[in-house]
Amino acid sequence: MSETLPISITVNGKVRKANVEPRLLLVHFLRENLALTGTHIGCDTSQCGACTIQLDGRSAKSCTLFAVQADGSEIMTIEGLAKDGELHPLQEGFWEEHGLQCGYCTPGMIMSGVQLLADNPHPTEAEIRKGIDGNFCRCTGYQHIVKSIQYAANKG
Partner 1 sequence: MIPTQFEYKRASSLDDAIALLQASKGDGKLLAGGHSLVPLMKLRLSEPGVLIDIARIPMLSGISEKDGKVEVGATTTHHAVATSELLQRLCPVLSDAAGEIGDPQVRNRGTLGGSLAHSDPAADYPAVILALNAEVHLKGPGGWRAVKGDDFFQAMFTVDMAEDEVIVGVQVVPQKVAGYAKLHQKASHYAIVGVCAVLDVAGGTINSARVAVTGASSHAQRLTEVENALAGKPLNQATIDAAAALAGATLEDVNADIHASAAYRKAMVKVFTRRALEKAASRA
Q: Which residues bind partner 1 (CB under 8 A)?
A: 1-3, 5, 21-23, 25, 44-47, 49, 52, 55, 58-61, 64-66, 68-69, 112, 115-116, 131, 133-136
Sign of the CA dihedral running 146, 152, 155, 156: negative
- Least CB distance from residue 69 to partner 1, whole Å? 7
Name residue 53's beta-bridge partners: 60
Residue closer to partner 1, measured from CB, 33 or 96: 33
CA nearest to 117, candidates 140, 137, 88? 88
- Least CB distance from residue 55 to partner 1, whole Å? 8
- Segment holding 93, helix H or strand E: helix 89-96
Residue closer to partner 1, measured from CB, 71 or 96: 71
CA nearest to 78, candidates 46, 48, 114? 114
- Least CB distance from residue 85 to partner 1, whole Å? 29
Residue closer to partner 1, measured from CB, 12 or 62: 62
Residue closer to partner 1, measured from CB, 56 or 86: 56
35 Rama class: left (phi>0) / alpha (psi -120 to 50) / beta: left
- Least CB distance from residue 113 to partner 1, whole Å? 11
CA atoms within 13 Å, Cβ hemisphere of 15: 5
